[in-house]
Amino acid sequence: MDKQAQPLNVIINDTTLRDGEQSPGVGFTIDEKVNIALLLESAGVSELEVGIPAMGEREREGIKAITHSLTHSKTMGWCRMLAEDVDCAVDLGLDWLDLSVPVSHQQIKHKLNKTLEQVIRSCESVIQQAIDNGMQVCVGMEDASRADHDVLCRVLEVAESFGASRVRFADTLGILDPFSTYQTISELRAQTGLQIEMHAHNDLGMATANSLAAIRAGANSINTTVNGLGERAGNAALEEIAVALKVLNHAETGVDLLKLEGLCRYVQVASGRPLMPQKAIVGDCAFTHESGIHVDGLLKDIKNYQGVEPSLVGRDHQMVLGKHSGMQAIESIYTAMGIRLTTAQCELIKAQLVNWAETYKCVPDPQQLRSFTSMILHTA
């Protein structure tokens, strides 16, 4: 894909408190929602999608608690393209409404049971209603990745004509790849002066890549969730997007990368969803090395096996011992523990590590490493 001029700044619109909470089995208390919102604001996230007003009084109570707690991050509520949904969103302190409307033939016909003309007319009146109530409007094009280009252009035209500020391109089913994302967003960018927001789902494991492709194609805003929470396989992860944009020098987000780990750990607990150890950026093993080749390379020059500096997110490289550890790693780690080993003892430790890994499927802790030396000395 051809490189285009990149925006100097990209808006992160984090939807942990809306789409993230739609993860099956996840439910935040109002206090947890407020805490997450404050952590997101403290981390420099400029926009938060904080809930669905039409869900009921308790949801609206939570939205008001969030909007009254924040000092500078903007807030957005999610609504269907319905007048009654907008009515529910009034007087909650929201800055934005995302007015979501299906745009694919599949959903217009088999979900709404309407014609395209009926959908367009509802867009006209509901967009005007939201603006008359003092809120900025993002028109959320649901299932946009399965929509005809002509339909997307009709919706763009109506959104712009009736005063919307932004359109959201939703890959609702997570079926795009970065190449098709780049092409589609480039085409939309050529059609409108409105802000374009990318909403990527991770069903094929490409939500982060698709979001980066959208930015390269001219998108101004990206939806994220902390730890990649969301429907089914989740959404683009905030921590992945923010760090990738920094490392690849694609755009500025204003996110304080040093605050990501604390935010991610809090959401992990509040959501009840443990992180995979290999989770990019914040997983326990994200900067952990066991392989003898890698550890040897790091000990010689850390740049040999460092693509992302762990210090960017307040972490360090960690070298551990396991089945694939080499002699130099064993000697180095035991020396750091204050234990000097001979070459023959390192060989015996290496055998112990193989047995441990195949039996217990985990990394031995320092106490266990000391027990290996005790066993060697006892045998000797």
Lowest-confidence pick of 127-131, 171-175, 361-365: 361-365
Encoding tokens for residue 367? 């106490």
- Mean pLDDT across the chain: 94
User: Over the stretch 135-144, which tens digit does the pLDDT of each residue have?
Assistant: 999 999 999 9
Give every CB contact of residue 334 below 8 A, 6+ residues apart in sequence. 340, 341, 346, 349, 369, 373
pLDDT (0 to 100) of residue 1: 44
Phi first, then psi, for residue 209 (nearest 5°) are -60, -40
Lowest-confidence pick of 114-123, 236-245, 294-303, 344-353: 294-303
User: Over the stretch 225-254, which tens digit does the pLDDT of each residue have?
Assistant: 999 999 999 999 999 999 999 999 889 999
Query: Would you call 226 helix, strand, or coil by DSSP?
Result: helix
- At residue 162, what is the residue type? F
What is the per-residue DSSP string for 13-65? EE-TTTTGGGSTT----HHHHHHHHHHHHHTT--EEEEE-GGG-HHHHHHHHH
Mean pLDDT of 338-363: 93
Q: If we measure between CA atoms, which residue out of 329, 337, 275 comes closest to residue 305?
A: 329
- At residue 107, what is the residue type? Q
CA angle (174, 175, 181) in 5-degree steps: 95
380 pLDDT band, cuts 50/70/90, is low
Encoding tokens for residue 324? 């694939």
- Higher pLDDT residue, 165 or 293? 165
User: Over the stretch 90-112, which tens digit does the pLDDT of each residue have?
Assistant: 999 999 999 999 999 999 999 99
What is the per-residue DSSP string for 136-203? EEEEEEETGGGS-HHHHHHHHHHHHHTT--EEEEEETT----HHHHHHHHHHHHHH-SSEEEEEEB-T
pLDDT (0 to 100) of residue 319: 87
pLDDT (0 to 100) of residue 5: 52
378 pLDDT band, cuts 50/70/90, is low
User: Over the stretch 313-335, which tens digit does the pLDDT of each residue have?
Assistant: 999 988 899 999 989 889 989 99
